[in-house]
Structure 1
Amino acid sequence: MDPSMSTGASIPDDIALKLASSLHVADICSLGSCSRFWWELCRSDFLWKSLCRKRWPALALEIESLSYDNHNHEEWKVFYIRKHNEMARKAGGVIDFVNRCLAFESIEVGHYLKAIRDLDSMLLGFEDVHTFFLKSKHNVLVNLIGLHYCLIWLGLPGECVMEILNNSNISQRQVSVQWWKLGRWFFGFRLRDELITRTISLEDLATGKEEEVLGVLHRGAVHEVIRVQISAAKPACTSWSFQNAQDANQ
Protein backbone atom coordinates (compact mmCIF):
# COMPACT_ATOMS: atom_id res chain seq x y z
CA MET A 1 0.00 0.00 0.00
CA ASP A 2 1.21 3.48 -0.83
CA PRO A 3 2.03 5.03 2.58
CA SER A 4 1.00 8.46 1.32
CA MET A 5 -2.55 7.15 0.85
CA SER A 6 -2.84 5.11 4.04
CA THR A 7 -3.94 8.01 6.28
CA GLY A 8 -7.33 8.38 4.66
CA ALA A 9 -7.75 5.13 2.74
CA SER A 10 -10.05 3.61 5.34
CA ILE A 11 -12.29 6.71 5.62
CA PRO A 12 -15.21 7.06 3.19
CA ASP A 13 -15.01 10.25 1.15
CA ASP A 14 -18.30 11.65 2.49
CA ILE A 15 -17.16 11.15 6.10
CA ALA A 16 -13.77 12.70 5.33
CA LEU A 17 -15.44 15.72 3.68
CA LYS A 18 -17.78 16.19 6.63
CA LEU A 19 -14.82 16.00 8.99
CA ALA A 20 -12.81 18.53 7.00
CA SER A 21 -15.81 20.87 6.68
CA SER A 22 -16.03 21.16 10.47
CA LEU A 23 -12.48 22.53 10.74
CA HIS A 24 -11.20 26.09 10.56
CA VAL A 25 -9.57 27.08 7.29
CA ALA A 26 -6.08 27.14 8.80
CA ASP A 27 -6.60 23.60 10.10
CA ILE A 28 -7.83 22.44 6.69
CA CYS A 29 -4.67 23.78 5.07
CA SER A 30 -2.57 21.93 7.66
CA LEU A 31 -4.57 18.74 7.16
CA GLY A 32 -3.90 18.92 3.44
CA SER A 33 -0.19 18.44 4.06
CA CYS A 34 -0.65 15.11 5.90
CA SER A 35 -0.96 12.78 2.93
CA ARG A 36 -1.92 12.59 -0.73
CA PHE A 37 -5.45 11.56 0.23
CA TRP A 38 -5.98 14.62 2.42
CA TRP A 39 -4.20 16.88 -0.06
CA GLU A 40 -6.68 15.90 -2.78
CA LEU A 41 -9.65 16.21 -0.47
CA CYS A 42 -8.61 19.53 1.09
CA ARG A 43 -8.35 21.17 -2.32
CA SER A 44 -11.66 19.82 -3.56
CA ASP A 45 -14.16 22.13 -5.17
CA PHE A 46 -17.00 20.77 -3.04
CA LEU A 47 -15.20 21.53 0.23
CA TRP A 48 -14.29 25.13 -0.59
CA LYS A 49 -17.72 25.89 -2.01
CA SER A 50 -19.19 24.58 1.25
CA LEU A 51 -16.82 26.82 3.23
CA CYS A 52 -17.92 29.84 1.17
CA ARG A 53 -21.59 29.11 1.84
CA LYS A 54 -20.95 28.63 5.54
CA ARG A 55 -18.93 31.81 6.00
CA TRP A 56 -21.00 34.12 3.79
CA PRO A 57 -24.62 32.91 3.82
CA ALA A 58 -25.76 36.37 2.68
CA LEU A 59 -23.74 35.87 -0.53
CA ALA A 60 -25.60 32.68 -1.42
CA LEU A 61 -26.89 34.08 -4.73
CA GLU A 62 -23.42 35.16 -5.83
CA ILE A 63 -21.99 31.79 -4.84
CA GLU A 64 -24.74 29.86 -6.63
CA SER A 65 -24.30 31.93 -9.79
CA LEU A 66 -20.65 30.90 -9.87
CA SER A 67 -21.70 27.26 -9.71
CA TYR A 68 -22.80 27.37 -13.33
CA ASP A 69 -19.32 28.30 -14.51
CA ASN A 70 -16.64 25.75 -15.27
CA HIS A 71 -14.50 25.78 -12.12
CA ASN A 72 -11.48 23.64 -11.52
CA HIS A 73 -10.64 22.49 -8.01
CA GLU A 74 -8.52 25.50 -7.10
CA GLU A 75 -10.92 28.20 -8.25
CA TRP A 76 -13.30 27.96 -5.30
CA LYS A 77 -10.32 28.20 -2.98
CA VAL A 78 -9.15 31.26 -4.92
CA PHE A 79 -12.64 32.75 -4.61
CA TYR A 80 -12.57 32.16 -0.84
CA ILE A 81 -9.16 33.83 -0.47
CA ARG A 82 -10.18 36.78 -2.66
CA LYS A 83 -13.40 37.27 -0.71
CA HIS A 84 -11.54 37.04 2.62
CA ASN A 85 -9.05 39.71 1.51
CA GLU A 86 -11.90 41.91 0.28
CA MET A 87 -13.72 41.63 3.61
CA ALA A 88 -10.48 42.31 5.51
CA ARG A 89 -9.93 45.50 3.50
CA LYS A 90 -13.48 46.73 4.06
CA ALA A 91 -13.44 45.84 7.75
CA GLY A 92 -10.14 47.70 8.11
CA GLY A 93 -11.81 50.79 6.65
CA VAL A 94 -14.58 50.64 9.27
CA ILE A 95 -12.07 50.14 12.10
CA ASP A 96 -10.02 53.12 10.88
CA PHE A 97 -13.19 55.24 10.78
CA VAL A 98 -14.05 54.29 14.38
CA ASN A 99 -10.51 55.01 15.59
CA ARG A 100 -10.62 58.46 13.96
CA CYS A 101 -13.91 59.17 15.71
CA LEU A 102 -12.27 58.21 19.01
CA ALA A 103 -9.73 61.03 18.77
CA PHE A 104 -11.66 62.65 21.66
CA GLU A 105 -12.08 59.32 23.50
CA SER A 106 -15.80 58.93 22.74
CA ILE A 107 -17.98 58.36 19.71
CA GLU A 108 -21.35 59.94 18.92
CA VAL A 109 -24.14 57.47 18.30
CA GLY A 110 -24.60 58.69 14.71
CA HIS A 111 -21.06 57.64 13.82
CA TYR A 112 -21.48 54.43 15.83
CA LEU A 113 -24.59 53.45 13.87
CA LYS A 114 -22.93 54.40 10.58
CA ALA A 115 -20.17 51.89 11.30
CA ILE A 116 -22.75 49.17 11.95
CA ARG A 117 -24.69 50.03 8.78
CA ASP A 118 -21.42 49.76 6.87
CA LEU A 119 -20.96 46.21 8.20
CA ASP A 120 -24.48 45.39 7.07
CA SER A 121 -23.83 46.74 3.56
CA MET A 122 -20.70 44.57 3.37
CA LEU A 123 -22.79 41.44 4.15
CA LEU A 124 -20.31 40.32 6.80
CA GLY A 125 -20.89 36.89 8.29
CA PHE A 126 -20.28 35.84 11.88
CA GLU A 127 -16.81 34.48 11.12
CA ASP A 128 -15.86 37.80 9.54
CA VAL A 129 -16.97 39.71 12.64
CA HIS A 130 -15.11 37.27 14.87
CA THR A 131 -11.97 37.52 12.74
CA PHE A 132 -11.90 41.30 12.27
CA PHE A 133 -13.76 42.89 15.22
CA LEU A 134 -13.95 40.62 18.27
CA LYS A 135 -10.24 40.66 19.05
CA SER A 136 -8.42 41.93 22.14
CA LYS A 137 -6.02 44.00 20.05
CA HIS A 138 -8.84 46.41 19.17
CA ASN A 139 -10.42 49.18 21.19
CA VAL A 140 -13.44 47.98 23.17
CA LEU A 141 -15.73 50.16 21.01
CA VAL A 142 -14.64 48.20 17.94
CA ASN A 143 -15.55 45.06 19.92
CA LEU A 144 -18.90 46.64 20.83
CA ILE A 145 -19.75 47.40 17.21
CA GLY A 146 -19.01 43.80 16.23
CA LEU A 147 -21.09 42.48 19.13
CA HIS A 148 -24.02 44.79 18.35
CA TYR A 149 -23.96 43.71 14.71
CA CYS A 150 -24.01 40.02 15.70
CA LEU A 151 -26.89 40.39 18.16
CA ILE A 152 -29.16 42.70 16.16
CA TRP A 153 -28.29 42.46 12.46
CA LEU A 154 -27.30 38.77 12.35
CA GLY A 155 -29.78 37.80 15.08
CA LEU A 156 -27.35 35.43 16.78
CA PRO A 157 -28.16 34.06 20.25
CA GLY A 158 -26.14 35.55 23.08
CA GLU A 159 -24.61 32.24 24.17
CA CYS A 160 -23.13 31.77 20.69
CA VAL A 161 -21.44 35.18 20.83
CA MET A 162 -20.37 34.69 24.47
CA GLU A 163 -18.21 31.76 23.47
CA ILE A 164 -16.25 33.99 21.12
CA LEU A 165 -16.02 36.81 23.69
CA ASN A 166 -14.61 34.40 26.25
CA ASN A 167 -12.17 32.83 23.80
CA SER A 168 -10.92 36.30 22.85
CA ASN A 169 -10.70 37.39 26.52
CA ILE A 170 -12.85 40.47 25.96
CA SER A 171 -16.12 39.53 27.69
CA GLN A 172 -15.33 41.66 30.78
CA ARG A 173 -14.32 44.75 28.84
CA GLN A 174 -16.53 47.69 29.74
CA VAL A 175 -18.05 50.64 27.92
CA SER A 176 -19.73 53.76 29.23
CA VAL A 177 -22.95 54.86 27.53
CA GLN A 178 -24.38 58.31 28.23
CA TRP A 179 -27.65 59.61 26.90
CA TRP A 180 -29.58 62.80 27.43
CA LYS A 181 -33.37 62.71 27.67
CA LEU A 182 -35.59 65.73 27.14
CA GLY A 183 -36.89 67.12 30.38
CA ARG A 184 -40.54 66.38 31.12
CA TRP A 185 -43.17 69.08 31.06
CA PHE A 186 -44.52 69.86 34.51
CA PHE A 187 -47.38 72.38 34.95
CA GLY A 188 -46.37 74.32 31.85
CA PHE A 189 -42.64 74.24 32.57
CA ARG A 190 -40.10 71.90 31.03
CA LEU A 191 -37.78 70.35 33.56
CA ARG A 192 -34.03 70.10 32.99
CA ASP A 193 -32.78 67.48 30.56
CA GLU A 194 -31.86 64.23 32.27
CA LEU A 195 -28.41 62.69 31.88
CA ILE A 196 -28.21 58.92 32.26
CA THR A 197 -24.86 57.12 32.47
CA ARG A 198 -24.44 53.36 32.43
CA THR A 199 -21.23 51.36 32.60
CA ILE A 200 -21.67 47.85 31.24
CA SER A 201 -19.55 44.92 30.08
CA LEU A 202 -19.74 43.19 26.73
CA GLU A 203 -20.97 40.13 28.63
CA ASP A 204 -23.89 42.16 30.03
CA LEU A 205 -25.02 42.99 26.50
CA ALA A 206 -24.51 39.48 25.12
CA THR A 207 -26.46 37.85 27.95
CA GLY A 208 -29.38 40.29 27.76
CA LYS A 209 -28.74 41.92 31.15
CA GLU A 210 -28.68 45.40 29.61
CA GLU A 211 -31.47 45.37 27.04
CA GLU A 212 -32.30 49.01 27.76
CA VAL A 213 -28.78 50.13 26.87
CA LEU A 214 -28.72 47.98 23.73
CA GLY A 215 -32.05 49.53 22.76
CA VAL A 216 -30.66 53.05 23.22
CA LEU A 217 -27.60 52.17 21.11
CA HIS A 218 -29.76 50.63 18.39
CA ARG A 219 -32.29 53.49 18.17
CA GLY A 220 -29.80 56.32 18.52
CA ALA A 221 -30.89 59.90 19.12
CA VAL A 222 -34.63 59.67 18.49
CA HIS A 223 -37.82 60.79 20.20
CA GLU A 224 -37.03 61.90 23.76
CA VAL A 225 -33.33 60.94 23.54
CA ILE A 226 -31.46 63.95 22.18
CA ARG A 227 -27.86 62.69 22.34
CA VAL A 228 -25.96 59.46 22.94
CA GLN A 229 -22.22 59.12 23.53
CA ILE A 230 -20.22 55.90 23.87
CA SER A 231 -16.71 55.59 25.32
CA ALA A 232 -14.40 53.03 26.87
CA ALA A 233 -15.08 52.79 30.60
CA LYS A 234 -12.27 54.13 32.76
CA PRO A 235 -11.19 52.24 35.89
CA ALA A 236 -13.17 53.50 38.85
CA CYS A 237 -10.10 53.61 41.07
CA THR A 238 -8.00 55.86 38.81
CA SER A 239 -8.82 59.20 40.45
CA TRP A 240 -8.74 57.70 43.96
CA SER A 241 -5.30 56.20 43.39
CA PHE A 242 -4.03 59.48 41.98
CA GLN A 243 -5.27 61.42 45.02
CA ASN A 244 -3.70 58.92 47.40
CA ALA A 245 -0.41 59.19 45.56
CA GLN A 246 -0.51 62.98 45.97
CA ASP A 247 -1.31 62.70 49.68
CA ALA A 248 1.58 60.28 50.19
CA ASN A 249 4.02 62.72 48.61
CA GLN A 250 2.98 65.58 50.89
Structure 2
Amino acid sequence: MEAPTSGSALSLNRLPDDVALTVVSFLEVCDVCSLGSCSKFWCYLCASNSIWAELYKRRWPALAVASGSLSNPAGSSLIQVVGGGRGECSAEAEEASASSLVPTEGWKAFYINKHRTLAAAVSSVVAYVNGCSQNESLEVGYYLKALGDLCLIKLGFRDVQFLLFSRRLNVLLNLIGLHYSIVCLGIPPNDVKRALLSCQVSERQVSINWFKLGRWFYGFRLPDEHHSRKVSLGELTMGEEEELLAVLNRGALHEVLRVQIAPVTPSTKWL
Protein backbone atom coordinates (compact mmCIF):
# COMPACT_ATOMS: atom_id res chain seq x y z
CA MET A 1 0.00 0.00 0.00
CA GLU A 2 1.26 3.49 -0.90
CA ALA A 3 2.23 5.74 1.96
CA PRO A 4 -0.06 8.80 2.20
CA THR A 5 1.36 12.05 1.02
CA SER A 6 1.77 14.95 3.42
CA GLY A 7 -1.33 16.56 1.96
CA SER A 8 -3.50 13.50 2.51
CA ALA A 9 -2.09 13.06 6.01
CA LEU A 10 -3.07 16.63 6.81
CA SER A 11 -6.59 16.05 5.54
CA LEU A 12 -6.89 12.95 7.72
CA ASN A 13 -5.96 14.99 10.78
CA ARG A 14 -8.74 17.50 10.24
CA LEU A 15 -12.42 16.66 10.03
CA PRO A 16 -14.86 18.87 8.16
CA ASP A 17 -16.15 21.56 10.52
CA ASP A 18 -19.74 20.34 10.47
CA VAL A 19 -18.70 16.75 11.28
CA ALA A 20 -16.35 17.93 14.04
CA LEU A 21 -19.09 20.11 15.57
CA THR A 22 -21.44 17.13 15.58
CA VAL A 23 -18.83 15.05 17.41
CA VAL A 24 -18.20 17.77 20.00
CA SER A 25 -21.94 18.26 20.58
CA PHE A 26 -22.10 14.81 22.23
CA LEU A 27 -19.40 15.65 24.80
CA GLU A 28 -19.72 16.94 28.34
CA VAL A 29 -18.12 20.23 29.35
CA CYS A 30 -14.96 18.65 30.84
CA ASP A 31 -14.40 16.66 27.64
CA VAL A 32 -14.94 19.76 25.49
CA CYS A 33 -12.30 21.64 27.50
CA SER A 34 -9.85 18.73 27.23
CA LEU A 35 -10.39 18.36 23.49
CA GLY A 36 -9.92 22.10 23.03
CA SER A 37 -6.37 21.83 24.36
CA CYS A 38 -5.32 19.32 21.67
CA SER A 39 -4.66 21.69 18.74
CA LYS A 40 -5.46 25.10 17.35
CA PHE A 41 -8.21 23.58 15.20
CA TRP A 42 -9.95 21.93 18.17
CA CYS A 43 -9.34 24.98 20.37
CA TYR A 44 -11.17 27.18 17.87
CA LEU A 45 -13.95 24.64 17.33
CA CYS A 46 -14.51 23.90 21.04
CA ALA A 47 -14.90 27.62 21.74
CA SER A 48 -17.80 27.73 19.26
CA ASN A 49 -20.84 29.72 20.41
CA SER A 50 -23.21 26.96 19.35
CA ILE A 51 -21.34 24.34 21.40
CA TRP A 52 -21.43 26.39 24.60
CA ALA A 53 -25.03 27.42 24.04
CA GLU A 54 -25.93 23.73 23.90
CA LEU A 55 -23.87 22.98 27.03
CA TYR A 56 -25.64 25.82 28.81
CA LYS A 57 -29.09 24.59 27.81
CA ARG A 58 -28.19 21.04 28.76
CA ARG A 59 -27.08 22.04 32.25
CA TRP A 60 -29.71 24.71 32.94
CA PRO A 61 -32.78 23.68 30.89
CA ALA A 62 -35.03 26.11 32.78
CA LEU A 63 -32.94 28.94 31.34
CA ALA A 64 -32.62 27.41 27.90
CA VAL A 65 -32.47 29.92 25.07
CA ALA A 66 -34.39 29.86 21.81
CA SER A 67 -32.47 28.00 19.13
CA GLY A 68 -32.48 30.99 16.81
CA SER A 69 -30.79 33.36 19.27
CA LEU A 70 -27.24 32.02 19.22
CA SER A 71 -25.58 35.31 18.34
CA ASN A 72 -22.40 36.66 19.87
CA PRO A 73 -22.19 40.44 19.61
CA ALA A 74 -19.57 42.31 21.58
CA GLY A 75 -20.41 43.35 25.12
CA SER A 76 -20.76 41.86 28.58
CA SER A 77 -24.41 41.97 29.57
CA LEU A 78 -27.62 40.07 28.95
CA ILE A 79 -30.24 41.31 26.48
CA GLN A 80 -33.80 40.14 25.94
CA VAL A 81 -35.07 39.58 22.42
CA VAL A 82 -38.64 40.87 22.26
CA GLY A 83 -40.66 42.91 19.81
CA GLY A 84 -38.61 41.76 16.83
CA GLY A 85 -35.39 42.84 18.54
CA ARG A 86 -36.44 46.51 18.78
CA GLY A 87 -36.96 46.47 22.59
CA GLU A 88 -40.60 47.66 22.68
CA CYS A 89 -42.47 47.21 25.95
CA SER A 90 -45.52 44.99 25.52
CA ALA A 91 -47.54 42.25 27.19
CA GLU A 92 -45.47 39.75 25.26
CA ALA A 93 -42.31 41.27 26.74
CA GLU A 94 -43.66 40.90 30.29
CA GLU A 95 -44.45 37.25 29.64
CA ALA A 96 -41.15 36.46 27.91
CA SER A 97 -39.47 33.52 29.57
CA ALA A 98 -35.81 32.90 30.34
CA SER A 99 -35.59 31.04 27.04
CA SER A 100 -35.46 34.40 25.23
CA LEU A 101 -32.36 35.64 27.03
CA VAL A 102 -29.27 36.07 24.89
CA PRO A 103 -25.81 36.69 26.42
CA THR A 104 -23.94 39.43 24.62
CA GLU A 105 -20.59 38.24 26.01
CA GLY A 106 -20.50 34.86 24.25
CA TRP A 107 -21.90 31.58 25.50
CA LYS A 108 -18.61 30.20 26.84
CA ALA A 109 -18.03 33.22 29.07
CA PHE A 110 -21.71 33.19 30.08
CA TYR A 111 -21.49 29.50 31.04
CA ILE A 112 -18.27 30.03 33.03
CA ASN A 113 -19.65 33.06 34.89
CA LYS A 114 -22.81 31.22 35.91
CA HIS A 115 -20.82 28.18 37.01
CA ARG A 116 -18.54 30.37 39.13
CA THR A 117 -21.52 32.12 40.72
CA LEU A 118 -23.11 28.80 41.71
CA ALA A 119 -19.77 27.37 42.84
CA ALA A 120 -19.24 30.37 45.14
CA ALA A 121 -22.72 29.92 46.63
CA VAL A 122 -22.19 26.19 47.16
CA SER A 123 -18.75 26.81 48.70
CA SER A 124 -20.47 28.73 51.50
CA VAL A 125 -22.66 25.67 52.18
CA VAL A 126 -19.56 23.45 52.13
CA ALA A 127 -17.81 25.74 54.62
CA TYR A 128 -20.92 25.78 56.83
CA VAL A 129 -21.17 21.97 56.93
CA ASN A 130 -17.45 21.56 57.59
CA GLY A 131 -17.65 24.15 60.37
CA CYS A 132 -20.65 22.49 62.02
CA SER A 133 -19.19 18.98 61.89
CA GLN A 134 -18.09 18.00 65.38
CA ASN A 135 -15.89 14.92 65.71
CA GLU A 136 -16.63 14.29 62.02
CA SER A 137 -20.38 14.02 62.70
CA LEU A 138 -23.24 16.37 61.91
CA GLU A 139 -26.41 17.01 63.89
CA VAL A 140 -29.58 16.89 61.82
CA GLY A 141 -30.48 20.53 62.48
CA TYR A 142 -27.32 21.70 60.71
CA TYR A 143 -27.91 19.10 58.00
CA LEU A 144 -31.41 20.45 57.27
CA LYS A 145 -30.12 24.04 57.33
CA ALA A 146 -27.58 23.17 54.62
CA LEU A 147 -30.34 21.46 52.63
CA GLY A 148 -32.51 24.57 52.89
CA ASP A 149 -29.62 26.75 51.71
CA LEU A 150 -29.27 24.59 48.59
CA CYS A 151 -32.98 25.08 47.90
CA LEU A 152 -32.47 28.86 48.05
CA ILE A 153 -29.55 28.62 45.61
CA LYS A 154 -31.83 26.62 43.28
CA LEU A 155 -29.26 24.16 42.05
CA GLY A 156 -30.16 21.88 39.17
CA PHE A 157 -29.32 18.17 39.10
CA ARG A 158 -26.26 18.70 36.90
CA ASP A 159 -25.08 21.40 39.30
CA VAL A 160 -25.29 18.86 42.13
CA GLN A 161 -23.19 16.41 40.13
CA PHE A 162 -20.57 19.05 39.34
CA LEU A 163 -20.39 20.66 42.78
CA LEU A 164 -21.47 18.10 45.41
CA PHE A 165 -20.91 14.58 44.03
CA SER A 166 -17.14 14.86 44.40
CA ARG A 167 -14.76 12.52 46.20
CA ARG A 168 -12.78 15.58 47.28
CA LEU A 169 -15.69 16.58 49.53
CA ASN A 170 -16.80 15.12 52.84
CA VAL A 171 -19.26 12.27 52.26
CA LEU A 172 -21.78 14.26 54.34
CA LEU A 173 -21.90 16.80 51.49
CA ASN A 174 -22.38 13.97 48.99
CA LEU A 175 -25.31 12.83 51.15
CA ILE A 176 -26.82 16.32 51.24
CA GLY A 177 -26.58 16.48 47.43
CA LEU A 178 -28.28 13.07 47.16
CA HIS A 179 -31.08 14.11 49.55
CA TYR A 180 -31.59 17.41 47.72
CA SER A 181 -31.79 15.66 44.34
CA ILE A 182 -34.39 13.09 45.40
CA VAL A 183 -36.54 15.07 47.84
CA CYS A 184 -36.25 18.68 46.62
CA LEU A 185 -35.73 18.24 42.87
CA GLY A 186 -37.80 15.08 42.53
CA ILE A 187 -35.11 13.27 40.52
CA PRO A 188 -35.90 9.53 40.14
CA PRO A 189 -33.69 7.51 42.53
CA ASN A 190 -32.35 5.37 39.67
CA ASP A 191 -31.06 8.51 37.91
CA VAL A 192 -29.41 9.66 41.13
CA LYS A 193 -27.80 6.24 41.55
CA ARG A 194 -26.36 6.40 38.02
CA ALA A 195 -24.95 9.85 38.77
CA LEU A 196 -23.35 8.57 41.99
CA LEU A 197 -21.75 5.71 40.09
CA SER A 198 -20.51 8.06 37.37
CA CYS A 199 -18.96 10.37 39.99
CA GLN A 200 -17.46 7.34 41.83
CA VAL A 201 -19.08 8.14 45.19
CA SER A 202 -21.77 5.44 45.22
CA GLU A 203 -19.84 3.17 47.60
CA ARG A 204 -19.05 5.86 50.17
CA GLN A 205 -20.79 5.15 53.47
CA VAL A 206 -22.43 7.09 56.26
CA SER A 207 -23.60 6.13 59.72
CA ILE A 208 -27.04 7.45 60.73
CA ASN A 209 -27.91 7.35 64.43
CA TRP A 210 -31.22 8.43 65.89
CA PHE A 211 -32.85 8.27 69.29
CA LYS A 212 -36.58 7.68 69.61
CA LEU A 213 -38.69 8.54 72.63
CA GLY A 214 -39.62 5.41 74.57
CA ARG A 215 -43.19 4.20 74.03
CA TRP A 216 -45.79 4.18 76.77
CA PHE A 217 -46.77 0.68 77.90
CA TYR A 218 -49.52 0.22 80.48
CA GLY A 219 -48.81 3.58 82.09
CA PHE A 220 -45.03 3.21 82.01
CA ARG A 221 -42.66 4.79 79.52
CA LEU A 222 -40.15 2.36 78.10
CA PRO A 223 -36.48 3.41 77.74
CA ASP A 224 -35.56 5.58 74.78
CA GLU A 225 -34.59 3.60 71.70
CA HIS A 226 -31.24 4.00 69.97
CA HIS A 227 -31.07 3.09 66.28
CA SER A 228 -27.89 2.97 64.25
CA ARG A 229 -27.56 2.17 60.55
CA LYS A 230 -24.54 2.06 58.28
CA VAL A 231 -25.41 2.52 54.62
CA SER A 232 -23.75 3.45 51.34
CA LEU A 233 -24.94 6.37 49.23
CA GLY A 234 -25.95 3.96 46.48
CA GLU A 235 -28.11 1.97 48.91
CA LEU A 236 -29.94 5.14 49.94
CA THR A 237 -31.35 5.38 46.40
CA MET A 238 -33.04 1.99 46.81
CA GLY A 239 -36.60 1.55 48.01
CA GLU A 240 -35.74 -0.42 51.15
CA GLU A 241 -33.79 2.53 52.55
CA GLU A 242 -36.63 5.06 52.28
CA GLU A 243 -36.95 5.00 56.08
CA LEU A 244 -33.50 6.56 56.50
CA LEU A 245 -34.26 9.43 54.12
CA ALA A 246 -37.55 9.95 55.96
CA VAL A 247 -35.68 10.16 59.30
CA LEU A 248 -33.27 12.72 57.83
CA ASN A 249 -36.07 14.68 56.20
CA ARG A 250 -38.10 14.99 59.40
CA GLY A 251 -35.18 15.67 61.70
CA ALA A 252 -35.56 15.87 65.48
CA LEU A 253 -39.35 16.16 65.72
CA HIS A 254 -42.00 14.58 67.91
CA GLU A 255 -40.93 11.03 68.73
CA VAL A 256 -37.36 11.44 67.40
CA LEU A 257 -35.13 13.11 69.98
CA ARG A 258 -31.89 13.37 68.05
CA VAL A 259 -30.45 12.46 64.65
CA GLN A 260 -26.73 12.37 63.99
CA ILE A 261 -24.92 11.62 60.72
CA ALA A 262 -21.27 10.62 60.45
CA PRO A 263 -18.93 9.38 57.71
CA VAL A 264 -17.95 5.73 57.89
CA THR A 265 -14.18 5.30 57.86
CA PRO A 266 -11.99 2.36 58.90
CA SER A 267 -11.49 4.10 62.24
CA THR A 268 -15.21 4.70 62.91
CA LYS A 269 -16.20 3.52 66.39
CA TRP A 270 -19.70 2.19 66.92
CA LEU A 271 -21.71 3.22 69.91
Please state which band the TM-score falls in when normalised by the shorter chain: 0.7 to 0.9
| Comparing 229-238 and 119-128, the one that deviates more | 229-238
| Other-structure match for 1:29 | 33
User: Which among 19, 25, 48 is matched to residue 23 of structure 2?
Assistant: 19
CA distance in 2, matches of 1:187, 1:82: 64
Q: Which amino acid aligns with 1:56?
A: W
| Other-structure match for 1:243 | none
Task: Confirm or deny that 1:66 pairs with 2:101.
Answer: yes
Q: Secondary structure at the match of 2:182?
A: helix
Larger helix percent: 1
TM-score (norm. length: structure 2) = 0.73
Q: Which amino acid aligns with 2:29?
A: V
Task: Give the aligned length.
Answer: 232
| Other-structure match for 1:79 | 110
Task: Confirm or deny that 1:201 pairs with 2:232.
Answer: yes
Task: Confirm or deny that 1:114 pairs with 2:145.
Answer: yes
Q: Which amino acid aligns with 1:7?
A: R
The answer to whether the 8 Å contact 2:62/2:99 transfers is no
User: Which among 181, 185, 197 is matched to residue 150 of structure 1?
Assistant: 181
Listed one character per residue, the Cα deviations across residues 184-217 of structure 1 (whole Å, up to 9, x for unaligned) are 2222232222221111111210233311101111
Q: Which amino acid aligns with 1:215?
A: A
The answer to whether the 8 Å contact 2:161/2:199 transfers is no
CA distance in 2, matches of 1:175, 1:30: 34
The answer to whether the 8 Å contact 2:136/2:263 transfers is yes
The 3 A distance-change label for structure 1 pair 49 and 229 is same
CA distance in 1, matches of 2:22, 2:148: 35
| Other-structure match for 2:259 | 228
Q: Secondary structure at the match of 1:209?
A: helix
| Other-structure match for 1:7 | 14
CA RMSD of aligned residues (A): 3.0
Listed one character per residue, the Cα deviations across residues 24-53 of structure 1 (whole Å, up to 9, x for unaligned) are 223223444667775555333333222112
1:236 is displaced (CA, Å) by 7.7
User: Which among 169, 185, 188 is matched to residue 138 of structure 1?
Assistant: 169
Q: Secondary structure at the match of 2:146?
A: helix
Identity %: 49
CA distance in 2, matches of 1:238, 1:108: 17
The 3 A distance-change label for structure 1 pair 35 and 106 is closer
1:175 is displaced (CA, Å) by 0.9
The 3 A distance-change label for structure 1 pair 180 and 19 is same
| Comparing 35-44 and 115-124, the one that deviates more | 35-44
1:21 is displaced (CA, Å) by 2.6
CA distance in 1, matches of 2:245, 2:269: 27
User: Which among 198, 211, 215 is matched to residue 242 of structure 2?
Assistant: 211
The 3 A distance-change label for structure 1 pair 237 and 229 is closer
Listed one character per residue, the Cα deviations across residues 119-141 of structure 1 (whole Å, up to 9, x for unaligned) are 12212122222222112222211
1:164 is displaced (CA, Å) by 3.4
TM-score (norm. length: structure 1) = 0.78
The answer to whether the 8 Å contact 1:5/1:35 transfers is no
Listed one character per residue, the Cα deviations across residues 227-246 of structure 1 (whole Å, up to 9, x for unaligned) are 2111112448979xxxxxxx
CA distance in 1, matches of 2:56, 2:24: 14
Q: Which runs of 5+ in 2 are unaligned?
A: 1-6, 66-96
The answer to whether the 8 Å contact 2:206/2:263 transfers is yes
| Other-structure match for 2:3 | none
Q: Which runs of 5+ in 1 are unaligned?
A: 240-250
**1:36-75 equivalences in 2 (<5 Å):** 41-60=45-64, 63-67=98-102, 71=104, 75=106
Which structure's relative contact order is higher, taking Cα pairs within 8 Å and 6+ residues apart? 1
